[in-house]
Amino acid sequence: MTVSWNAGSFERQLRTGGQMFEAAFHAAVIGKAIVAVTGHIVEANASLAAMLGRAPEALRGMHFADFTHPHDIQADLHLFDEVMHGARDSYQLEKRYLRCDGATVHVLLSTTVVREDNGTPIQFISEIIDLSESRRVGIALEEANAKLRRQVITDHLTGLYNRRGFEDALAAVSPGETASLLLVDLDDFKAVNDRLGHEAGDLVLAEVGRRLLGLVSRGDCVARVGGDEFSIILAGAGAELAQETAARVVGHLGAVFHVGGDLVHIGASVGAACSDPNCATPRGLKAKADAALYAAKRAGRGTWQLAD
């Protein structure tokens, strides 16, 4: 089959192609721009203009650096120069634009160069996708996950870590890392529930949590791991600090508790253990602290013991 060439038909096809490009350019839901080799905007569509809070005609003649975040200009200019020098024909990067009201817009920029037959750049075609909404959704999702995570590892009564939170914190102690573990068992807590009721018991437990938090430093872990059982992980603490803290725990929890109009005495026993090469695992550290707690309770309660 022979197809004859017709100049008029070819011109019509060119006009149709140009009209289709023009329509697609201006109607696109993503931002589009034609950029001169100098970096100035030749044409911008309504989506890009809305993204930047400007009118399309206001963008014409502006350099892309005029509305690029100052911290992102160098990365964009570097890639732009690579295209100009023939090292690449396109590039893509996430960057920030500045709206006319000063707000920041996170975008994904894709830029492709149009060249002469000899390779000389003529202009750039840029497509810009607004990432702000997806970033907001991502941040909201991260915050929701973090909140859920806190709920999962937090004891609702005391606000301390729960057993799961404690186990996670203990598992995070690396082999060879200096740390101490204190296991705290309230001595006469059952009598509070029996005499004053569970509501009074809850008030005592909440106060125990507050007192324990006041004895540790930022970065330490305090957890309620059972009904009247608490645990403390002292990060970077050796035997001296472990003993000092254990003694303070016994003293503070041995002081009177005010519950409504009643005075309550409970006391506590503490078993402490320090990490060393012989208990290189969290399980080994906990086993030593358990043995020390058992020794403290056997010694008469209201005291503390440090594992050998």
pLDDT at position 25 over 90: no
- pTM of full prediction above 0.85: no
Tens-digit pLDDT profile for residues 100-141 = 898 999 999 999 999 998 999 999 999 999 988 778 878 888
Q: What is the mean pLDDT of residues 301-306?
A: 90
Q: At 10, is the pLDDT very low, low, confident or very high (cuts 50, 70, 90)?
A: very low
Domain 154-306: homologous superfamily in CATH? Reverse transcriptase/Diguanylate cyclase domain (3.30.70.270)
249, 270 in Cβ contact below 8 A? yes
Tens-digit pLDDT profile for residues 232-270 = 999 888 889 999 999 999 999 999 998 888 898 999 999
Q: Where are the alpha helices (DSSP H) in the chain?
A: 7-27, 46-52, 56-59, 73-84, 132-152, 163-171, 189-196, 198-213, 239-254, 282-298
Q: At 193, is the pLDDT very low, low, confident or very high (cuts 50, 70, 90)?
A: confident
Active site residue 187: no
CATH architecture of structural domain 12-132: 2-Layer Sandwich (3.30)
The catalytic position among 76, 155, 185, 228 is 228
Residue 247: Cβ-neighbour burial (10 angstroms; 0-12, 13-18, 19+) = middle
- Residue with token string 């569970």: 198
71, 54 in Cβ contact below 8 A? no
Q: Show me where the domains of the chain are located.
A: 12-132, 154-306
Q: Say what percent of the chain tops pLDDT 90.
A: 61
301, 249 in Cβ contact below 8 A? no
- The confidence score (pLDDT) of residue 144 equals 86
Q: What is the mean pLDDT of residues 90-100?
A: 93
